[in-house]
A and B are shown apart, each in its own frame.
Chain A
Amino acid sequence: MSGGGDASAHEDALLSRVYQQIAEVREPQFAAGYDLEGGLDQYRAWLGEHTVAAASVTPAVEDGQTSTADVTMPLRAVATEPGAWSADLAVIELYSVQYKALVRLAAMLVRDTSTAEEVVQDAFIAMHDGWHRLKDSEKALAYLRQAVVNRSRSVLRHRVVVEKNAPKPAPDMPSAEHGAMALLERSAVIAALRDLPERQREAIVLRYYADLSEADIAAAMRISRGAVKSHTARAMASLKAALEQDA
């Protein structure tokens, strides 16, 4: 270090100006591409859930039943004695029941099967490591879904960086060897799905391919139910338009 303080103070001033000037150039460009109506829809939905007037609409099921999600049925059937369960057993059981469905879900999000499998396996490993923190084994499936969505997101983010550096032809639809995937091979729909903004794609995939309820989607994506509605509605509108154009 030779006379560090002064030089780096100069450089700090310099870099502040660099950041400032980059922001001045880029912010208006990005701002011009903002989907204001879409953002407003989502925000209105959130406000709707938090305004006083809407308070009476919230279901009063606090007391008594917890009948929220029928999707957890296979899991619930398995988890009869939560206390007696070891992490290993529980995870193996869950794995055998849920693995394929979760891979299908992840494949729709990351658009290739082998990455999807990695994503799901990572999610299982993470859940296994944190099993003691999962007080309620009924939450396990919700936790897994959320982990899969989160991991798919970071895969996509990473992929953006990689693709920027080495542009290569977009990967094709994952091979149809997986029986489940073959059903989805209606390429027009897949192609249209691919063009959707990330959050809208997630909402659609969770709704129609993973068959989740609105509440479960909201939990998996960590957004409000209103936002789920608005993402889904917008996605359906774009899909419809895209498919009609094709036909």
Chain B
Amino acid sequence: MGDDHRITPHDAAELVACFRAHASLLFGHACVLARGDRALADDLVQATFEAAARVWQTLRGLAEEQLRGWLRSTLANIAASGFRREAAFRDRLPQIEPRYRETQADPSEQAFSAIALERCWRIIREMPKGQHVVAVLRWQLGMKEAEIAAVLGIAEPTVSAQLHQARRKLIEQLGPDHPFARDDPEGGSS
């Protein structure tokens, strides 16, 4: 294994501090993406900080907020690619940019009831893996269908079909919390 990136002791100290500051929340994020699978979440956190070490020269100058964004989106990328082989992942790194900022929810928007969210979480946990990955990329990370298809290396119609199924399952769970609830959520359109 040729390691061209050797880390200096000084960088290592900074990286440990960075880990201490961000790992817990990042783990929380990973658990949500991994639907509660802690061992997988653990691996994702480690892989993310290993990735950070490889590009630390670029990252060290970032503001705290940007750094957090980079860590989160990198982790999401690793999760989405199904824990691709490290080498493949390393090649993709430069293309990853923080895209997380835009997906903040508007606080003035409606909050769903805890019960509806719980029902949705259960649906998410039981989704087939392919559907889950596509759904997370679409709704949690705000990617477009074409982008998802490119990232996962699958056809766009496949993405649409999987999103369609996931959408129907989830919307159903929102019940009365659904502000645009039409009278016939399924009868009219299928």
Contact call A50/B5, Cβ cutoff below 8 A: yes
Interface size class of B (residues with CB under 8 A): 35 or more
CA distance A39 to B38 in the complex (A): 12
CA distance A160 to B8 in the complex (A): 41
CA distance A23 to B33 in the complex (A): 9
Q: Pick out which of these stretches binds chain A: B44-52, B57-65, B88-96, B150-158.
A: B44-52
Contact call B6/A31, Cβ cutoff below 8 A: no
CA distance A42 to B138 in the complex (A): 32
A197 to chain B: closest residue by CB: B39
Contact call A18/B53, Cβ cutoff below 8 A: no
Is B15 among interface residues, defined by CB-CB distance under 8 A? yes
Question: Which residues on B are within 8 Å of A, measured CB to CB?
Answer: 3, 5-9, 11-12, 15-16, 19-20, 23-25, 27-32, 36-43, 45-46, 49-50, 53, 103-105, 109-112, 114, 116-117, 120-121, 124-126, 135-136, 138-140, 142, 167, 170-171, 174, 178-180, 188-189
Question: Which residues on A are within 8 Å of B, measured CB to CB?
Answer: 1-2, 4, 7-8, 10-12, 14-34, 36, 39-40, 42-44, 46-48, 50-53, 55, 153, 157, 160-161, 164-165, 197-199, 223, 227
A-B contact pairs, 13 of them (CB 8 A): A1-B189, A7-B189, A14-B171, A16-B142, A17-B109, A18-B174, A19-B139, A25-B117, A42-B46, A43-B46, A47-B15, A160-B36, A198-B38
- 4 nearest A-B pairs in the assembled complex, by CB-CB distance: A31-B28, A27-B28, A30-B31, A198-B39
